[in-house]
Structure 1
Amino acid sequence: MTQQRIKLYQGSASPCSYLDNRQAVNIYADPHHPHPRAVYNQLIKKGFRRSGEYVYRPGCTHCSACVPVRIRCENFTPRRTDRRNLKQNNDLRVDYQPACFTEEYFQLYRRYLAARHTDGGMDNPEPEDFERFLLNPWGETLFVEARLDGQVIAVAVTDATSDGLSAVYTFFDPDHGHRGLGRYCILQQIELCGSINIPYLYLGYWVDGCQKMQYKTDFRPQEHFDGQEWIVTPS
């Protein structure tokens, strides 16, 4: 793939979503680049992520806690916890759909945010918020959906990139929280990587000290990006 010349822009500071009493700053790729998909394919290998149509990475001056993580899917072996999760959810039907807005997806998204992000500014979204955050006019995005008796109870928003899948976001029915649907969706994305013979599942950022990010360390073997290269973490 031809390397693209990419302009980067620094965003404004805002309260950190992961660590208390810290300010966060993001670096954004030029949103007006004529080949945004090629930019994404290039930058995800350098620790960038996607939110809506924007490609970004943390660029905090005095903090480097956000560590990009990817799973080496071809070497992944489910642990006992994973096997138990798959067995518990063997009554679900998994399918892959083109990313789109539907009322069914939106109502599930609203319920998830109301339960998980109360008073966080995301808990009462409009349809435009769903589309702006999860969909992407230039990318190749799919929804990995899990259904119980025909009703969708979990959706993993997944991007296809040149060397892997990128787990953008997962939302699920809070009434089925006991099923471990977040973990289940990661396992389904790993399986999809294997079925289409691509090596990596990008999980976004792991933040040491942030409890809600600790689950990412459960999936091994994995690699962390140190700013220059991807390094295999100890088992």
Structure 2
Amino acid sequence: MKQIRVFLPEDSQPCAYLEGRASCSLYVDPRLELDQQQLTLLSLNGFRRSGKVVYRPQCKQCQACTSVRIDCQQLQLSKSQKRVMRKNRDLTLVVETPDEALKHYPVFQRYIDERHADGDMYPASFGQYREFLIEGFGNSRFLSAYLQGQYLGSLVFDIFEDGLSSVYCFFDPDESRRSPATWLIISLSLVAQSLRLPYNYLGYFVEGCQKMDYKNRFAPLQGFIDQQWRQI
């Protein structure tokens, strides 16, 4: 395997998750064109992808971020999650390539502008959509939901050697009552299960950040703690 170069910037940035805190991340050399084996190894060591930026939080004074993954082979649904699955039985799932998903930008734009107007991605732009979700390392796909041919939303995911990785979910804000994000994460976990892949990587659970609490509702959940994966 080729050597993977990483670097740690000297300057910190305002934390995107916890108000009043600074953050610092370890970054993979952006000049590297990573293959699936390398991306799998990085994921196993707590790294995450945003566009073509691969990083891991490395804050000296804070350990709030924990990389988490669902054990798909032992997936357990709560009563509320079972209700979500029943509510969405009328939807059809399609796996699409990033190029096929270029047409979904209008829904992404509405989602960002209506649901995340307080975030750093507002206002949405097509260039941002392409850079964030379309460009990657060739191992990403869109798990897209349709109702009688009408597009509702997607969960963008990466394919690793040991599982699938949920990168980002967006959907038509008018369909929020369906809990589409929960439904798509469970559906992707079932896809991994059918492919006999052990895990669905969910990124970072951030203690104290309400927006990240949803990740703690999936079971069984494992966290990358003290340089090893443990049941949490």
Q: Which category describes the TM-score, using the shorter chain as reference length?
A: over 0.9
Using the TM superposition, give the Cα deviation of residue 161 of structure 1 relative to its aligned residue in structure 2, in angstroms. 0.6
Indicate the residue corresponding to 1:7 in structure 2. 5
Report the secondary structure of 1:128's partner residue: helix
Distance in 1 of aligned mates of 2:170 and 2:119: 16
Report the secondary structure of 1:104's partner residue: helix
Q: Structure 2 counterpart of 1:25, which letter?
A: C
Indicate the residue corresponding to 1:21 in structure 2. 20
Q: Does structure 2 conserve the Cα–Cα contact (< 8 Å) formed by 1:98 and 1:142?
A: yes
Indicate the residue corresponding to 1:232 in structure 2. 231
Unaligned runs of 5+ in 1: none
Distance in 1 of aligned mates of 2:190 and 2:51: 25
Residues 162-201 of structure 1 mapped to structure 2, 5 A cutoff: 162-201=161-200
Once the two structures are superposed, what CA deviation does each residue of 1:14-72 show, in whole Å capped at 9, x if it has no partner? 21111110111121111223544432111100000001112111111211100010010
Q: Does structure 2 conserve the Cα–Cα contact (< 8 Å) formed by 1:101 and 1:131?
A: no
Report the secondary structure of 1:183's partner residue: helix
Structure 1 residues 20 and 87 mapped into 2: Cα distance closer, same or farther (>3 Å)?
A: same
Report the secondary structure of 1:78's partner residue: coil
Once the two structures are superposed, what CA deviation does each residue of 1:112-135 show, in whole Å capped at 9, x if it has no partner? 001121143322222211111112
Residues 213-228 of structure 1 mapped to structure 2, 5 A cutoff: 213-228=212-227
Once the two structures are superposed, what CA deviation does each residue of 1:174-220 show, in whole Å capped at 9, x if it has no partner? 11111111101111111110111100000000011111111111111
Structure 1 residues 157-166 or 146-155, which shifts more? 146-155
Q: Once superposed, what is the RMSD of the aligned Cα atoms?
A: 1.5
Report the secondary structure of 1:201's partner residue: strand
Q: Taking every aligned residue pair, what percent have the same amino acid on both sides?
A: 35
Q: How many residues align?
A: 231
Q: Does structure 2 conserve the Cα–Cα contact (< 8 Å) formed by 1:110 and 1:123?
A: no
Indicate the residue corresponding to 1:209 in structure 2. 208
Indicate the residue corresponding to 2:79 in structure 1. 80
Using the TM superposition, give the Cα deviation of residue 102 of structure 1 relative to its aligned residue in structure 2, in angstroms. 4.7
Q: Does structure 1 conserve the Cα–Cα contact (< 8 Å) formed by 2:102 and 2:134?
A: no
Unaligned runs of 5+ in 2: none
Structure 1 residues 130 and 68 mapped into 2: Cα distance closer, same or farther (>3 Å)?
A: same
TM-score for the superposition, normalised by structure 2: 0.94
TM-score for the superposition, normalised by structure 1: 0.93
1:30 equivalent to 2:29? Answer: yes
Report the secondary structure of 1:185's partner residue: helix
